[in-house]
Structure 1
Amino acid sequence: MAERGRPRNFDRTQALDRALMAFWQDGFEATSMTDLVEAMGINSPSIYAAFGSKERLFAEALRHYGSFYANALPDALNKAPDTASAMDAMFEAAVDLFTRSDTPGGCFVVNSVASNAPNSPEMEESLKQLRRERLEQIAERLARDVRSGSLRHDTPVQELADLYAAILQGLAQAARDGLGKERLAKLSGQSRNLISPWMMD
């Protein structure tokens, strides 16, 4: 029998994934400890012993999302051979993520901001940091292509990065609202027009 206060043996990654799905579905505030116990298959003393608090569990679930789900976006962005292809690949990865059949839909970060976000400055800052990282990743890809000469030297890098990041958030919300994959793909396909005037022949 396990000692009092010590967590039972469980797969931490699997438990985090289940917690993530619960938070992703209903948000932080609306997800109770009872919901988490049911989703994770772990009793509440073990959850507290392993993760410290509901807030810390949410923070770890947020990192899990970035590492195991949203990581497809920067990978696609950086591996493409040119700017237009990079943006296409990023949006394709985003649409795939937002419409997965095994997740609640949309983007976990955007959903968490939209409703039932943690009422905590620290948690709010963690969510903002992930959004900033995505914006910085887009801006760095654009800046890299300016430096390489594939984009014009006067390309408005920050403005375009801001616009692309806003489109990503819009796609995530549209997916959450039930817009299908085909329509999301058509919307994201229009992004190529944004970069075309700045591409070198």
Structure 2
Amino acid sequence: MRGAALALLLGGCAPVAAVLDPPLAQLARWESATDAAIAAEAPRCPPGHPACFRLHARRAEACMALAMAARAPGAACPPRSDHLDCAAAGYAAARALRPDPRLAAGEAQAALCLGDLSGHRAATQRAALAAREAGEPLLMARAALALARPPAPPAERCAIARAALPLAPLREAADLARRIALDCEGDPR
């Protein structure tokens, strides 16, 4: 059935292919679509369909591109959370189908920005997990330092900051981790 749908798509019979294999038709439609059009259309995937991974990954990238386009020069995050939820959910859905460190890094970045903008600790914890799975030291350090902010209890903040010191590859991140850790000097842990 999928082979027939692919042949119909390639042969220019997109309406028929859309009926026979909607996910494959959606993927073909997205080949020439803008990021805004892709972000506005949720993937339609039955479980186990081979196009689902690519649909979720492509939508995540489109949402992330739209979110990051609003960043100030040199900023890690945009000033608003527009499209970040879509990006984080898309990366998570694609990673559930096929683990990939690049997708984990995208999810970590989106979740870090969501945590920064919303103040929700759950988003930052999600970012820390995805950053570890991505194996990205900068993202791991950023997530650890974000978790070390109040309202985390002082002992937890100190432990997180100490653990973040070796992860912080940038001078600024290392300086921040060091300052937080220095605040813990009197902490016996």
- Quick check: TM above 0.5? no
The interval holding the TM-score normalised by the smaller chain is 0.3 to 0.5
Taking CA–CA contacts closer than 8 Å with sequence separation of 6 or more, which of the two structures ends up with the larger relative contact order?
1
Larger Rg: 2
